[in-house]
Structure 1
């Protein structure tokens, strides 16, 4: 994730912000420019990107100057383009993305795939939906940065991407709401937006990591298996690394939940659940690839460098000045990822928190991530 500043005053702002906490400017994310922008009200629900002020162009002195390296972008070809707020922004304040004013679309690129949203008549569901949408916008940001295309259910009624955000309270007692994917339809149980319930589920299922963004990145992996592997003619290469997906899926999951992962799973898989079936191995690996590139981009924008001890007693220093979303050399990403997570995990432990990235990457898992890297670059037509 990039870092952003308010064009009106130069205050650092976060991807999720709708207002600058310093000057109060209205903020909106412009997907066509991939930036969070202060907005100027042009009337009748139309907004324009604010031009950078002198204070937003200047680098803050001292420590902040080194920390917040992002500047408000200079006016460019699209700087005076006009926008409308996504309907979910204007009516419910659960989004902060903008739609080009000339577009007939009511929803932004991130909200367009929504098919069912939570029942807003139930207390607390608006807050849960807002948390869900925050995670989904980060997913959408990552897909745009990777150059991956998405077809919605409107564009492809049979296999297009759609999201259903459902609650057990609105379902029949004999029909539990399960988070999952089926032919482009991603269902999220909105209880996952309750931190206490999600943590209970994590402990009950003996998982090391369970977050909303993790769910989104995992389930979108299943969507892209359909579009990039099955429909993309890559089954032979996939099976060479991940195994035969024709193995009965239901039986494989039942065996996993009854007996657990194989004893040597840590030598071959990125997580225990990845060992359940080749489809889950792909989705887990895909999610971790998205975790890696987004976190590396964030670290790079904050200028984080990590020294790493080498076996010969010397120390290597990671260089954050690269774009992990457009990097050809996957091995270089791994070389930066391992020391970064080692350092951040150590910081978390200093605060008594669990590891940010509580995983060890065996070489077979790294090889699978490299394959996903190549597949994404081929799909995005990057050399």
Structure 2
């Protein structure tokens, strides 16, 4: 993620900020990818600290995609909804760097159902997922204790709210790209035939998870071509965002491009991945000095890199 500048004093302003230290209120303009002053605020600004510019109807572009919010009569759900919407905004802002869901993108947009397992009257079973453009998110996993429990339960270190957003959005992007000439012809040789029975494939996975081996980025990616695509695309977004944030923060390693480099404009997927991995290795070294986990503990094999290259090309729509 970029580091922005205050429109009043040019001090650094970060993606989550509602105001600069100088007192200037700011709002994020997703088309201009800048922080602006004096723009109409999203209706949700006071409730969930949404700092995006309002569009028609008073909601920002991101909040307008949310069809259902969690039961706010259960008081713990407001901060969970806030955290989940922040992750959604971050994911959408990054996809906007590639032209997705901007004012110039006439394609379909997803609809989000933000639900919680906790309601005023008890517990509710919420299953995350994507179905025909509708993305269901369980905001309960924005709770640190719940997230930690499920990371261990499912053996998924990268089971985070932002990870969920990137994964489920990848399913939606597949839906959009599947209508593009040539996409499925390029997809199937690498990922497999997405027409395979999804329910049966998922049941086989839960009965006996396959080893990802050299060909898949995670265990879950082995379940079905749709999940392989979603996991691969989510990890590509992890890597590009990590590199972009490092560059924006002034981190430099030998061989890395200099000031002004924009990872979202990089066409060479292998160079992009290599730079991100090198950055992660350097941060791993720092983290170990504090006995902290590795930043990106995945080995990217050549078959996985080839899948990422295909996903990258279509994500850039080139």
User: What's the TM-score, normalizing by structure 1?
Assistant: 0.77
Unaligned runs of 5+ in 2: none
Q: Give the 3 Å change call, closer, same or farther, for CA 336–168 of structure 1 in structure 2.
A: same
SS at match of 2:316: helix
Map 1:1-383 → 2, pairs under 5 A: 1-20=1-20, 22-37=21-36, 39=37, 47=38, 83-89=39-45, 91-99=46-54, 104-149=56-101, 160-170=109-119, 176-230=125-179, 232-262=181-211, 265-307=212-254, 317-321=255-259, 322-378=261-317, 382=318
CA shift digits 1:106-159 (9 cap, x unpaired): 2111111110011222112111111011101111101110112379xxx99xx7
* Distance in 2 between residues matched to 1:301 and 1:192, nearest whole Å: 29
Secondary structure in 1 aligned to 2:63? Answer: coil
How far apart in 1 are the matches of 2:122 and 2:63? 29
2-structure distance, mates of 1:150, 1:164: 21
By how many angstroms is 1:352 displaced?
1.6
**Number of aligned residue pairs:** 315
**Secondary structure at 2:239's aligned position in 1?**
helix
Are 2:116 and 2:124, in contact at CA under 8 Å, matched by a contact in 1? no
Q: Using structure 2 for the length normalisation, give the TM-score.
A: 0.92
Contact 2:31 2:102 in 1 (8 A): no
Which residue does the alignment assign to 1:68? none
What's the secondary structure of 2:40's corresponding residue?
Answer: strand
Please provide the CA RMSD for this pair. 2.3
Aligned-partner SS, 1:25: coil
- Partners in 2 of 1:370 and 1:229 — Cα distance? 17
Q: Distance in 1 between matches of 2:202 and 2:173?
A: 21
Aligned residue number for residue 75 of structure 1: none
Q: Is residue 244–residue 278 contact of structure 1 (8 Å, CA) maintained in 2? A: yes
- Pairwise CA distance, 1:337: 1.5
